[in-house]
Structure 1
Amino acid sequence: MVTGAAGFIGSHLAHTLVQAGAVVVGVDRRDPATDRTAAANLSVLRGLPGYMHVTADLLSCAIDPLLVDANAVFHLAGIPGVRPSWGPRFGEYLASNVLATHRVMDAVTRMGVTRLVAASSSSVYGPTDGGASVETDRPQPSSPYAVTKLAEEQLCLAHSTQAHCPTSVVALRYFTVYGPRQRPDMFTHRALTAALTGQPLRLYGDGHQRRDFTYIDDAVTATIAAATIPTASGVINVGGGSSASLLDVINIANSLAGREIQVHQENPRSGDVLTTRANPDRAHELLGWQPQVDIHNGMRAHMQALAAEPATYGRAA
């Protein structure tokens, strides 16, 4: 079962699993019949044997029937985004990222599922000194979103320690995943959209913020390994090894498009950190995983996908 199957990572993961011969039940509360983003993300899965899509809300639906014969659950459902998590929407983050996760863990325990892979986030580390974050570092989440992601991963791990729970848990701390079908509010998508369309690009802060960019195909490979390698457990960083500043991303987008992006600089956003960088040792050791796609080639593939489907540009950069 893949929760959040109509999302960015979820749709890529479900597609890869089906292509590898797995039978996949995809669950998402967004109805592809009425939600354009969900429909676009799931279009690669439409009609494929081995995939069944269920439109359901994990906060209220019966989860047990979805898990019959399941040997792994990829729990990617949740509400993303740092900025919207401040203020009145926090209750939605709490419900989707924490309470729904509690229901999923109760269900996998009852149904005897042997492995659950939970999607966590590098944001749980919070501000750092610029060095690589190790899984044993003390988390210091600096946004309500990051607080809920830390609660989500730790809730899953806590469930797995119960004597009667047959489920081992791997929580993957993804570092800035990008690529085709990325959310339009994410910086790489916005920069490439600006480069393709000539729209101005909003840059929050001075652009020297650095991120460890992870291409979607690499993220999916790590995610599948986390479900299939028996010795995998606990928290694992998934970082693409492409440390770059936001200004670097703009320069790559300029080069790929052959035009200069018009940048509108604005104040930094609350909860944004200066640097994210993954220590990859645990992923190498436990998953045998090495990222394969650098940021130049990843952004080229991302731009080609956007250029092929102009409707995916989004309203503004």
Structure 2
Amino acid sequence: MVRQSHIPATVEKTCEACGKKYSPLRYGKCQPCYRRNARYGSTEYKREEVEDITLAFVLKKCTESGECLLWTGTVNKEGRPQTTDRKLWREEGKARQILLHRWMYEHHVGEALRKGQQVKQTCRNKRCLSPAHLSTSQPRPGRAPLGEAGQYKGRQRREDDLERCANGHEWTDENLYIDPNRRRSCRICQAASHMRRQGKDPSEHEWRRRKSWEDTLKCVNGHLYAGVGWYFNGEARVCRKCFAEKERKRWLRVSYGMALEDFEALLTAQNFACEICAVTFDPDVRDLTPCVDHSHSTGQVRGLLCHACNLGIGHFKDDPERLRSAIKYLETSTPEADQ
């Protein structure tokens, strides 16, 4: 028994426009001819024949957007303008993609780019072909050029790496720093980076390595460490005299709300003597060190006293009646000296 098939045999038809066999047809035309007729009104295949890429060809497919010149044609997978060398395609059957931002830079500068050299848009628009917005990367000073093919030769340690840093500074004992992980860094480059973060121009400042604390004989205020003494805080030496003056300013500000200038002005007004006993102050003697006398109720500073007078007023609770009673007691109870 022969099984009959109800599936019709494939029928090959011919397109009335191009004469090629195509199935199925649409209004007597194959799919490509139908689409060209619907889009352009004619089934004739038209393609702009370009012998070579010229500036007029590029500008024809660009539109102005502010200061940018935007490409409206095809782009590569990175979003950058590209086109095909059609002359090479017709003659040799090879497709060669041309990156137009590199072509525009070479046409504007008049020099060919070396292999491996990058061209970028300063306006951060990948479609922009304006020559004013195209810039190229320059080789770093002090570095050996790339190979003949323009390719990086891997992590090969070249001789110039052993002689200078990435910015061309020669390795010396002053600018070479080796971290605990045995990685080398340039002190000059680090200082320049720190200045740029602060908004300064590194070219206007001369770099000089800071002396180590062991080589410094004086502090920043000119005090000789051997004379005033010092201590090590884990990072550097600290001058004891400078530290004492700093603590003195802090003590006056926190305890009495006065600055060091106010304290010195009050000391000058009292002629460097106690306001009560009129004894001259002597900073080297503890009992003759000027003490700030203030009201414990209002906090107002009243004057400078010696250590003994300040303690006496404090023990009498700043009470005038007690002081008068003490004076009367001394006058009545103290025996007169024999004549």
- State whether TM-score is above 0.5: no
Higher relative contact order by CA 8 Å / sep ≥ 6: 1 or 2? 1
Higher-helix-fraction structure: 1
TM-score (norm 1): 0.16
Structure 1 or 2, whichever has the larger Rg, is 2
TM-score (norm 2): 0.15
